[in-house]
Amino acid sequence: MITTKDCTQIYYKDWGTGRPVVFSHGWPLNSDSWEAQMMFLASKGYRCIAHDRRGHGRSSQPWDGNDMDTYADDLSELIEKLDLKNVVLVGFSAGGGEVARYIGRYGTKRVAKVALISAVPPLMLKTTTNPGGLPIDVFNGIRDGSIADRSQFYKELASGPFFGANRPGSKVSQGFIDLFWLEGMQAGGKNTYDCIKAFSETDFKEDLKKFDVPTLIIHGDDDQVVPIGAAALQSSKIIKNSILKVYKGAPHGLTFTHKDKVNTDLLAFIEN
């Protein structure tokens, strides 16, 4: 655990030795969602660090601070307290937003490379200047589901669009679905509710313009949660010299469903 400046306790796991790779997880999950990537990269000689975002997993569940600025501040405190340098930052979904906001607020003095996987930047919400985004009704529906029956909502999200289990021929295991539900229910109700606004309405365009290190962008072209058109395809245009890898037919949760390909691509990117 570390204790942040507002007395929130942030849990983290620290596996292996070598160059640090720091992971930021998606909503409503926790650091356990990176298990496949951390075990793989730690076995290849890297120090893999992943924290539970405030309000998620084993971290504290504060009433306030469930926003991207504070998430980025927490990430900065973790990196500073562990005195990490030459870091590879990896963010999935909402965690991609956290990573982007971190760079927007703190720069890349401690960062060597970045990977954004199924990430929410530059902006998920449909606006007059972001016509390719999703309507506010989509996120209001997530909020409604979270209030009405959060447990059932997570089960339906996992057994449907998150892993692409609603697609013909899907072979998503019950284990993946159960794991998503378990991690989601470890998070706080207020924290995950607030995080919906944070990941959907935060505009990361100015943050992405500050990326000045090699950046890998991975996204599935069948992502039903964070559609690729308003996300990775736009981020790759904003981030200079970024590398875009599109996984054909892959869903949002491709760190699970396509873990071997993700692991191989991450390792090659880090070592190149």
The string of pLDDT tens digits covering residues 204-224 is 999 999 999 999 999 999 999
Is the distance from CB of 28 to CB of 59 less than 8 angstroms? no
pLDDT for residue 114: 98
Active-site hit among 31, 33, 59, 93:
93
Active-site hit among 52, 252, 258, 265:
252
Q: Where are the domains of the chain?
A: 2-271
Class of domain 2-271: alpha beta
Kindly indicate the confidence band of residue 70, based on its pLDDT and cuts at 50, 70 and 90: very high
Is 223 part of the annotated catalytic residue set?
Answer: yes
Is 242 part of the annotated catalytic residue set?
Answer: no
Percent of the chain with pLDDT over 70: 100
Give the tens place of pLDDT for each residue, 101-115: 999 999 999 999 999
Is 203 part of the annotated catalytic residue set?
Answer: no
Is the distance from CB of 118 to CB of 29 less than 8 angstroms? no
Is the distance from CB of 262 to CB of 37 less than 8 angstroms? yes
62 cis-preceded (ω within 30 degrees of 0): no
Report the pLDDT averaged over residues 64-80: 98
